[in-house]
Structure 1
């Protein structure tokens, strides 16, 4: 934030001197906690000179030693001095301008300082803070404050010249205050800025430089105005959304999930997917309610139902897509009961979340979720937590290593230097041009984050091994006794202890993990999306996130895991691989079987013209009872569709019947 001093002596900043006509922007002061001098900036030669001028005018006085914080913004623009029981405000601008009679006022008459700052220096009160009578009077009459330039002055236009007068008037008429505010709010919302950025003095200075009409027309806004206008815009456009949803010819499908903001707001994002009256697929966010109570199924359901009812779509609700959290089971049961359907039959499960659970089972074994909750990596690892991770095998040991490097500036810097030295010594121009890379830390929120951690570690393996060797040498050299002999045995850093280092066998294991998880990654990329047809980067036109791909995705991954189990005998630590791959297979199969609760998965695949029932007959040849069950579910689903048509003019048809031109296995490779 710009200090008050910078308004009066720009030449001190090293950016050049300011023209006399340049207005002084109003800074936004920070409240002091001691004397005002300590809040401004570190003392410099010029500061000392100004203070000598101050004491020359006020001999016998000293800086104030007031105990309480002051809330008056004028103190940020003045010196706070005292003499016995008297306390005065001395204008800092007057002292800096070497005014022979610097203005000063008793502390009890601080409002006089407001008027002086406005009248003599053109300094306004910050937004939301007390204005002096002079500023209030000027505002009521529309008079510009001293030092504020008009548009004509800023553009150096002669208003006595008809042509230049016309130019000035044209610019003034073109400025639309409300449009300016809308653009400002759009930018704040789109870039997720704090609402208070609208009050920043530096931003106001940019606006005034571009168009003085911003200040002249009082177009700047406060953070409270930003919020009020956002809420007003939401309410204004909500009715339009209600009308569009009301005209939607098919069912409206819902997705919701919870998220906690950095400032501890527990929010639920609620989105819907539908066809508009022109049969164009659309999606829109309906709300972001806060769930301040416990995140139980009933509490979640209550918030979701409130939002649904506020848009008057309770009679048009189709299917839900949710993650696999248990409280969502209860929430769907309550929502279905309120809206007249069986919640489980309308509940789709987030495929990416399911794959992530299976991937964790492969990496960390039994009850991987409980393990991650126990040691989430949110804080530096204790020795006990370090041991827990290490017991999870090569992936856990790699996690320990990455955490240690990631959280140490020293180790991160050493890793970068080792890479840079290698690049500089290489005769390969491509290597010379490379930039050092950092390790990637896995986390419990990004899907397959362990895969990206492993890939980066494999890429940096040689440099990481050199780092460990250098770190151990440095540690031992720093702990030698003065006589040259070693001190009593010291505990090596975690990454230097032999039991915490990855052996060649361990690196082979994590490399095979990366191969397995690459199939999961390909499947997630295939299923992620909103089902809308678009032209893709590689030139083909199609869609991702289609419901008929889910069953095929399960079959594809289960087949790959079976293949890896068969060849596990060729891997290091064969038994460990067999167990963990089987755990990943079981997790996938668990959610595959649950698909039967939601018939739309089978109906979507059966109705696709490229698949129909032939797909089931070809892929489930040895499970005829599965085919019969799928057909029964399909018949039940179509009967339910007919019932819904009587209420809603028809079910949303399956869109985008284009077959993928890329095979899943090829995508993984």
Structure 2
């Protein structure tokens, strides 16, 4: 054996084409003097070569060995422990789930050979076929589900369910159910609980039956706080039926209180109303603005035509024309690169040549916003491309279908109107951190912000006054004179020469121009018809926004989340709702919070001990008492009794709020002793998501798994794979002894 090891260390062995074993000297190869390859049949030849040419001989302890010993594997067969094999099998399933690989991936010829060569003995102990991997998926899913259940049992808040429906690629109705809660450290958590097959119609009662099955399977029927879903009417029925099933004592109002409307869906409806919505009341109101205005039906027809063939319609047709042909796309990109290369100095902005045009679709309103935003970024490229094709005689896009200067002005205004909606969607669709971005308290404040913006746009696009027109004319005259005024030599100071913005590249002229264009100028520059169309669209969007703003009042929890946020407080609502009917909203918000707290959270155990008086331990002053002193003592007793009877809500509302830059969850955890029952309500509220966007994410990830080659996958397997993927990526479980994120801690505290 020692001789075999000696030869193996001093050379290489390979199998020739004739199936003969050959040996080559390592030392000769490293010195580039290799001129002879020896046959294994003559093992003495290799020894003679080493001794003769390199003066290397085996140690005296070397014993004779057979020819086959030279090529025997270097390591003894190693048999892994049960724990090690279990972890490896978990890692294999983790790879299949996380990378969306087929169950047969490890039987692929070359991958299997890699495993065999690196650790042949270990490879023989693990089943690699697709049936074994699927069986292992079932076992791992069952074991990890127990851990996720334990983490939810340890939650310090109620568990809020977000749900949505999806039709899979293999034509199954699938319901995604996601759980949101605070772990025992007060960190917001999200877990995909089910991607369950939904059978039957989509009535509210039938949806509730599927939800109840999921809740019972997880054993959380007594821990559920609220349901978050889109604004479909069947979800109203579903919420009522669901809570009535898990708690027959619930009244209709109890279920309405717990029906949380998805903020993202509200934003989607408002965006669609602006771009494509029609409201008969708005058309009627618009027709009555002017006696010469057309009737409501004519306005509706005119608006529809403008949306289809106006600036947005033109832009969509142009983008679709460019993107529908690889040759046109390539020509457009080449033109953009050439245009940017001519401006080889960029002051503060990256090149836009590599940006691709974005095409809108009919299902998502924000795709239209992104199309307009990208087109404005590449305006000069689009104009150059269309001009080039017009000059070349290519009449595929007629001149009347080109975007005019007025069209570009309209696109700028459309982007400005849609931008707040888009920013709110992006802000609240994620999982919040430290009580911000994506949780319940942002819904009401976000709608207030958007209502302010929409009301401002309605005023902005109204008919300009004579004063506005005169102001715009004066501004345009001044700009004209400034632009064409001749330069008279060098400026007096070399440090501050006069800046000629016309000499700058077009993409930076606006940033370096003197001042900002007045609002009246922007308004007057728009064609009157476009201004009217935008005003109608803004009013339609405002109506939709106001409709759902009103619906939020059905549940006291939206306003309660604002009141119990120490960075907002009731003073934020008082500042917003300060007149007329708004004062009633404020009263209802306070009463709704108190009623909900009394019904579901007020501690039934004896209250906290009364605080010691400030005079405790101080000897009483020696003085003679009179009738007046007795009267004052009685008054003091009444005040002390009233103070001790003050509820937690009353004591909270007396605090000096708001507190800037505060984490609401951390604040309530620190004040649990002061507000024992109110803090439980607050923590429950701050674990409610603003949107059901995590269900949409689950569907998007499921599409990556359920490719056209895997449509035979049954819904149960898809559910196990997607739930495990969510738990892995949220670092809720360890797979193979490791977390998915390298930064995740390995302690039980992190998991719970």
TM-score (norm 1): 0.62
| Residue 587 (structure 1) shift | 1.0
Name the residue aligned to 1:555.
448
- Distance, in Å, in 2 between the alignment partners of 1:312 and 1:159 is 63
User: Does residue 630 in structure 1 map to residue 589 in structure 2?
Assistant: yes
Partner residue in 2 for 1:358: 270
1:227/1:498 CA distance change after superposition, 3 Å: farther
1:594 aligns with 2:551: yes
Q: Residues 450-473 of structure 1: CA distance to partner in whole angstroms, max 9, x if unpaired?
A: 221111111122222232334455
State how far apart, in whole Å, the 2-side matches of 1:395 and 1:503 are.
Answer: 12
Residue of structure 1 equivalent to 2:243: 336
Superposed displacement of residue 189, structure 1: 0.8
Q: Which moved more, 1:573-582 or 1:177-186?
A: 177-186
Aligned partner of 1:523 in structure 2 is 424
- How do 1:169-568 residues align onto structure 2 when only pairs under 5 Å count? 169=76, 173=80, 176-213=84-121, 215-217=123-125, 219-222=127-130, 224-340=131-247, 341=250, 342-366=254-278, 391=308, 393-428=310-345, 435-444=353-362, 448-472=366-390, 476=394, 493=396, 496-533=397-434, 543-568=436-461
Q: Tell me how far apart the structure 2 counterparts of residues 422 and 210 of structure 1 sit (CA, whole Å).
A: 54
**Greater CA drift, 278-287 or 251-260:** 278-287
Cα deviations across residues 3-53 of structure 1 (Å, max 9, x unaligned)?
xxxxxxxxxxxxxxx96479x9xxxxxxxxxxxxxxxxxxxxxxxxxxxxx
What SS does structure 1 have at the residue aligned with 2:190? strand
Q: Report the 3-state secondary structure (helix = DSSP H, G, I; strand = E; otherwise coil) of the residue aligned with 1:195.
A: coil
Alpha-carbon deviation of 1:170? 7.9
- How far 1:399 sits from its partner (Å)? 2.3
Assess if the C-alpha contact under 8 Å between 2:577 and 2:586 holds in 1.
yes
Offset of 1:397 from its aligned partner? 2.7
Instruction: Give the 3 Å change call, closer, same or farther, for CA 603–173 of structure 1 in structure 2.
Output: closer
Q: What per-residue deviation string (whole Å, max 9, x for no partner) do you get for residues 319-345 of structure 1?
A: 111112232222212112212334322
1:14 is aligned to none
- 1:340-391 Cα deviation digits (max 9, x unpaired): 33432211111122112212222234279xxxxxxxxxxxxxxxxxx97952
Greater shift, 550-559 or 353-362, is seen at 353-362
Instruction: Kindly report which structure 2 residues correspond to 1:137-156, keeping only aligned pairs within 5 A, or say none.
Output: none
Q: 1:640 to 1:278 in 2, by over 3 A?
A: same
Tell whether the 8 Å contact from 1:247 to 1:276 is kept in structure 2 after alignment. yes
Structure 2: gaps spanning 5 or more residues: 1-12, 20-66, 281-303, 465-522, 606-675, 687-752
The CA distance in 1 between the partners of 2:310 and 2:243, in whole Å, is 44
Aligned residue in 1 for 2:682: 653
Superposition CA RMSD, Å: 3.6
- Tell me how far 1:579 sits from its aligned partner: 0.5
Paired residues of 2:319 and 2:358 also in contact (CA < 8 A): yes
**Deviation per CA, 1:435-456, whole angstroms, max 9, x where unpaired?**
5322112235556222211111
Question: Which residue number in structure 2 is paired with residue 34 of structure 1?
Answer: none
SS of alignment partner, residue 437 of structure 2: coil
| Residue pair 1:389, 1:400 contacting (<8 A) in 2 also | no
Instruction: For CA contacts below 8 A with separation 6 or more, give which structure has more relative contact order.
Output: 2
SS in 2 for 1:653: helix
- Report how far residue 614 of structure 1 moved: 1.3
Shift of 1:277: 4.3
Deviation readout 1:631-655 (Å, 9 max, x if unpaired):
2222222123237989x99945338
**Offset of residue 502 of structure 1:** 2.1
Instruction: Give the SS at the match of 2:336.
Output: helix
CA 1:210/1:464 → structure 2, altered by over 3 Å: closer, same or farther?
farther
Kindly state the Cα deviation for residue 402 of structure 1 after the two structures are TM-superposed: 2.2
Q: TM-score, normalised by structure 2?
A: 0.55
Matched-pair contact (CA < 8 Å) for 1:389–1:397: no
C-alpha contact 1:551 1:601 (8 A) present in aligned 2: yes
